[in-house]
Amino acid sequence: MGERFSPLLLSILCIGIAILYIPILVLIGYSFNASELVNIWGGFSTVWYRELTHNRQILNAAALSLEIGIVASTGALILGTLAAIALTRYHRFRGRLLLTGMVNAPLVMPEVITGITQLLLFVSMLQTFGWPHRGFTTIAIAHVAFCTAYVTITVQSRLLSADRSLEEAAMDLGSGPVRAFCEITLPIIAPALAAGWLLSFTLSLDDLVVSSFVSGPGASTLPMVIYSKVKLGLSPDVNALASIIIALVGTFVILAGFLMRRAERRRLLEIQMAER
Amino acid sequence: MNLAAAELGAPRRRSRRKFMERYGHWLIILPPFLFLILFFLIPFAFALKISFAETAIRVPPYTDVLSITPDRHLHLALSLANYKYLLTDEVYAVSYVYSLRTAFFSTLICLLIGYPMAYAMSRSSKATQNVLLLIIILPFWTSFLLRVYALEGIIRENGLLNSVLLHLGLIHHPLKIMRTTLAVYLGIIYSYLPFMVLPLFATLEKLDNTLLEAAADLGRPPWRTFLEITLPLSVPGIIAGSLLVFIPAIGEFVIPSLLGGPDNLMIGRVLWDEFFNNRDWPVASAVAIAFLVFLAGPIALYQHYHAKEMET
C-alpha cells in the first residue's frame, strides 16, 4: 500500500495526535517553572522536584502504590493466564459462559460500581470472619479482580494465534502436558505475559476510584493523594510528580516494546534457521 | 528392588495420569473462576442486599436486612425506601439522563475523530503503522488521572489555550471552559480517544485489500468504495470502539469531578457524593444497582461482539 493520504485525512491524524500529546508536554514544561504562580513563567528551575524528595506524604503513598502494583499485577498475571488458557483450550465446561462474562465485564464496568460493590463485600466479610481489614489487602484484591481481565484478553489473543501442533508433537514424543506447555507454548506467549503484567501494573498504579472505595483510614495510594491535592487547587509539586511518573512509564513501555520486538524477531529467525 | 518399585509405581502413575486427564483442566479453570465469583460477582449480591437496607448510625452504617431474631426466626427486613427515593428526588433522573447524553455525544465525536485516524493508520506502510500505533498506545499507558489533570493546564482561565488565543488577538477576554459542560466533553474525548482508535484500527487493518483493489479496477470512485465496502465491513470495530467509550463514560467520575462544574452531575459523581459526603451507603447501593440495570443491555452487546472477535 502506498502512503498517499488525502490532506484531510493527514490533518485529522495530526490533530488527533496533537490532542493526545499537547497537554502532557505542557504539563512537563510547567513542572520546570520556577514561579509558584502557574500562569507566569518564572524561569527554569528544578525546585519542585527537590521539594518532592522532602514530602513524606507523597513518598509514603508512592511506596504503598508500588507495593500494591507489584502484588496485584503478579496475582492478576497468574489468574489471567489460567483464565486465558481455560478459555482457549477448553471449549466445553460448565461455567464457561460465566467465566467469559466475568473476564470481559470489568473492561467496561464503570469503576464506581465495581468499587462500591467490592467495598460492601469486604465490609460484610470483616463482620463475619474478621478479615480483611480495609487497606493494603482490600485494595490489592480489588486490583487483581480488574487487572485479571486485561491479562486474560492480552494472553488470550496470543494463545489463539499460537500454533498448537508443536505442543502436541512434544506430547506425542512423550513429554507431559505441563512440560510441553512450559517448554513450547510459554516462550511463545511470553511477550503477552510481559505486556499483561506491565499493563496491570500501570492500571493498578493509576487507579483512583476503586482504591478510594475499598481503602481504609490511613491507607492512601498515590492517585488518592494526587486527587486530593488537585481538588484543592493546582500545586506545582504535582506537576513535577506527574512528569516523573509519565517519564518513567513512557520509558518503561517503549523499552519493553523494543525488547519484546527484538525477542520476537530472534524467535522468527530461529524458526527460519530450523526450517532450512 | 528398583524393578519392583518401578512396577509398583507404574499403575499409580498411570492412575494419576488418568485422573489428570479427566479432572486436570479444573486445576486451570477453578482458580480464576472462584476468585472472580467471590470478588467480582458476589459483591453485586451484597450491593443488592444493602440497597434494601436503611441508613443507621452504626458501623457499618446500615440496618440488617437478614437477621436472626432472639426466638431463632429468620427476620427479613426489606425496605424499598431507597428506590422510592431515587424515583422521587429529581437529581437521580436528571443525572442519569445527563450522563447518557454526555456519553452519547462524546462517543459520537470520538468516532468522528477516531475513524479517520484509524483509517489513515491502516492505509500507511507497516513501518509507519508501528510508529503510529506506539504513539496512540502510549497515552493509554500513562495515568488517566494525570492526563485529566494535564488537560486542566490547557483549558483553565490562564492556561495555554487562552494565552495563545489572547496573544493572537482572536479573543479579548479569556474563555471560561473549566467547570463547564464543554470541559467535560473535552475531558472524555481526550481521555477515551485511544479506546476508539485501537479497535477501529484492528478491524480496518484486517480488511481484505483485494476487495478495494477490485472496486478500484471496476472504476468505482474512492468515496463510493469507502461507503460500499470499507464502512460496512468496519461495523464491528465501530461498535466495539463505541461501547468501549460509551459505557465507561456514562459512569465517569474523575472527569466531571475535576473539570466539570456543579451542574455537570454525572451519575458516577452522584454515587460518589452519596457515599463519601452523605455517607448514605444504602442509597449509594441503590444508585449502583439501578445504574447496572441500565447498563446491562450495552454490556451484553459488548460481550457479544467481543466473543465474536475472539472466535475469528
Pairwise CA distance, residues A236 & B104, whole Å: 35
Query: Residue B71: pLDDT band by 50, 70, 90 thresholds?
Result: confident
Please write the tens of the pLDDT for every residue from B284-310.
Answer: 999 999 999 988 888 888 888 877 776
User: How far apart, in Å, do the first and last CA atoms of chain A sit?
Assistant: 30
- State the sign of the Cα–Cα–Cα–Cα dihedral B172, B176, B181, B183: positive
Out of A120, A238, A250, the one facing B142 most closely (by C-beta) is: A250
Q: Does B158 touch chain A (CB under 8 A)?
A: yes
Contact B117 A102 (CB under 8 A): no
Min Cα distance A274 → chain B (Å) is 26
| Alpha helices (H) in chain B, listed in sequence order | 2-36, 42-50, 81-88, 90-123, 126-141, 144-155, 160-168, 181-206, 209-217, 222-225, 231-233, 235-250, 254-258, 267-276, 281-311
Contact B288 A205 (CB under 8 A): no
- Spell out the residues 6+ positions from residue A66 whose beta carbon is closer than 8 angstroms to its own: A205
Please name every residue paired with B68 in a beta bridge, in sequence order, or none if there are none: B74
Residue of A nearest to B309 (CA): A157
CA atoms within 13 A on the CB side of B119: 21
Which of B253, B111, B119 is CA-nearest to residue B193?
A: B111
Out of B147, B193, B310, the one facing A16 most closely (by C-beta) is: B193
pTM: 0.89
Kindly give the interhelix angle for B181-206 and B144-155, rounded to the nearest 10 degrees.
Answer: 130
| Nine cell digits for residue A94 | 460448565
Domains and CATH numbers, chain A: 57-222 (1.10.3720.10)
| Max Cα distance, chain B (Å) | 99
| Nine cell digits for residue B227 | 461507503
Average pLDDT over residues B51-66: 82
Contact A117 B288 (CB under 8 A): yes
CA B64 to chain CA centroid, Å, is 32
Burial class (CB in 10 A: 0-12, 13-18, 19+), B127: exposed
Complex-level ipTM beyond the 0.90 threshold:
no
Reduced to 3 states (helix: H, G, I; strand: E, B; else coil), residue B293 is: helix
Report pLDDT for A119: 95
Pairwise CA distance, residues B122 & B102, whole Å: 29
Chain B residues with CB-CB distance to A102 below 8 A: 33, 36-37, 40-41
| Nine cell digits for residue B136 | 496512540
Residues of chain B with CATH 1.10.3720.10: 82-311
- Angle subtended at Cα B43 by Cα B37 and Cα B45, rounded to the nearest 5 degrees: 100
Reduced to 3 states (helix: H, G, I; strand: E, B; else coil), residue B280 is: coil
Which of B137, B115, B108, B312 is CA-nearest to residue B204?
A: B115
Out of A93, A103, A157, the one facing B25 most closely (by C-beta) is: A93
Pairwise CA distance, residues B119 & B110, whole Å: 14
Pairwise CA distance, residues A171 & A176, whole Å: 6
Report pLDDT for B270: 92
pLDDT beyond 70 at B9: no
Pairwise CA distance, residues B124 & A95, whole Å: 43
CA A85 to chain CA centroid, Å, is 20
Give how far Cα B308 sits from Cα of A200, B203, B302, Å.
24, 13, 10
Contact A16 B39 (CB under 8 A): no
Reduced to 3 states (helix: H, G, I; strand: E, B; else coil), residue B75 is: strand
Q: Does A275 touch chain B (CB under 8 A)?
A: no
Cβ atoms of B204 and B118 closer than 8 Å: yes
- Of residues B21 and B34, more confidently modeled: B34
pLDDT beyond 50 at B228: yes
Contact B33 A13 (CB under 8 A): no
Q: A–B: how many Cβ contacts below 8 A?
A: 267
Burial class (CB in 10 A: 0-12, 13-18, 19+), B203: buried
Q: Does A259 touch chain B (CB under 8 A)?
A: no
CA A213 to chain CA centroid, Å, is 19
Report pLDDT for B11: 64
Among A101-115, B73-87, B203-217, the range with the most confident prediction by mean pLDDT is: A101-115
Contact B123 A3 (CB under 8 A): yes
Give how far Cα B262 sits from Cα of B95, B141, B178, B180, B220, Å.
12, 30, 11, 9, 52
A 53-82 residues inside an 8 A Cβ radius of B: 78-80, 82
Contact A79 B32 (CB under 8 A): yes
A 214-233 residues inside an 8 A Cβ radius of B: 223, 226-227, 230-231
Cβ atoms of A51 and A36 closer than 8 Å: no
Contact B40 A38 (CB under 8 A): no
Other Cβ atoms less than 10 A from the Cβ of B160: the count is 18
pLDDT beyond 90 at A144: yes
Asked if the B82-311 domain carries CATH number 1.10.3720.10, the reply is: yes
Average pLDDT over residues B108-136: 90
pLDDT beyond 50 at A1: no
Q: Does A258 touch chain B (CB under 8 A)?
A: no
Query: Residue B2: pLDDT band by 50, 70, 90 thresholds?
Result: low
Pairwise CA distance, residues A274 & A207, whole Å: 45
Please write the tens of the pLDDT for every residue from B243-277.
Answer: 999 999 999 999 999 999 888 889 999 999 999 99
Dihedrals phi, psi of A237, to nearest 5 degrees:
-70, -25
Q: Does B6 touch chain A (CB under 8 A)?
A: no
Which of A63, A61, A27, A30 is CA-nearest to residue A47?
A: A30
Q: Does B113 touch chain A (CB under 8 A)?
A: yes
B 176-215 residues inside an 8 A Cβ radius of A: 189-190, 193-194, 197, 209
Q: What one-character DSSP code corresponds to residue A130?
A: S
Which of B193, B19, B61, B119 is CA-nearest to residue A9?
A: B119
